[in-house]
Amino acid sequence: MEHYAISAKRIFDGERFHTHSSLVWQGETIVGIFPTSTVDEKIIIQHYAEGIITPGFIDIQVNGGGGVMFNEKTDVDGIDTICKAHRKHGTAYLLPTLISDTPRKIHEALTAAQNALDCNTLGILGIHIEGPWINPAKKGAHNESLFFDPQISMLESLPWLKSGTTLITLAPEKVNNESIKWLSKKGAILSCGHSNATTQELDNQYFNAISGFTHLYNAMSPLEGRQAGVVGKALMTDNAWCSIITDNIHVSKESALLAHRVKPKGKLLIVTDAMASVGSKSPSFTLNDEIISVVDNKLVNTNGNLAGAHIGMDESVANVIKWGIDEAEAFKMASTYPAIAIKQERLGKLKEGFYASATILDPNYEAQHVLVNGILF
Q: Which positions are catalytic?
A: 273
Residue by residue, DSSP assigns 92-157 as: EEEEEEEES--HHHHHHHHHHHHHHHHTT-TTB-EEEEE-SSS-GGG-TTS-GGG-----HHHHHT
- Give the span between the Cα atoms of 226 and 106, in whole angstroms: 38
- Give the span between the Cα atoms of 73 and 71, in whole angstroms: 6
Q: On the CB side of 206, how many CA atoms lie within 13 Å of its CA?
A: 21
Residue by residue, DSSP assigns 273-329 as: -B-TTTT-S-SEEEETTEEEEEETTEEE-TT--B-SB---HHHHHHHHHHTT--HHH
| Beta carbons within 10 angstroms of residue 44's beta carbon | 12
Backbone angles phi, psi at 145, to 5 degrees: -70, -15
CA distances from 304 to 214, 292, 295, 308, 375 (A): 21, 9, 10, 12, 41
- Give the span between the Cα atoms of 155 and 124, in whole angstroms: 23
Q: Give just the sign of the alpha carbon dihedral 142, 282, 112, 88.
A: negative
Residue at 335: amino acid letter: S
With beta carbons less than 8 A apart as the criterion, state whether 135 and 174 touch: yes
132: cis peptide before it, omega within 30°? yes
- Give the span between the Cα atoms of 295 and 279, in whole angstroms: 16
- Give the span between the Cα atoms of 6 and 370, in whole angstroms: 11
- Give the span between the Cα atoms of 325 and 174, in whole angstroms: 35
- Give the span between the Cα atoms of 336 and 328, in whole angstroms: 10
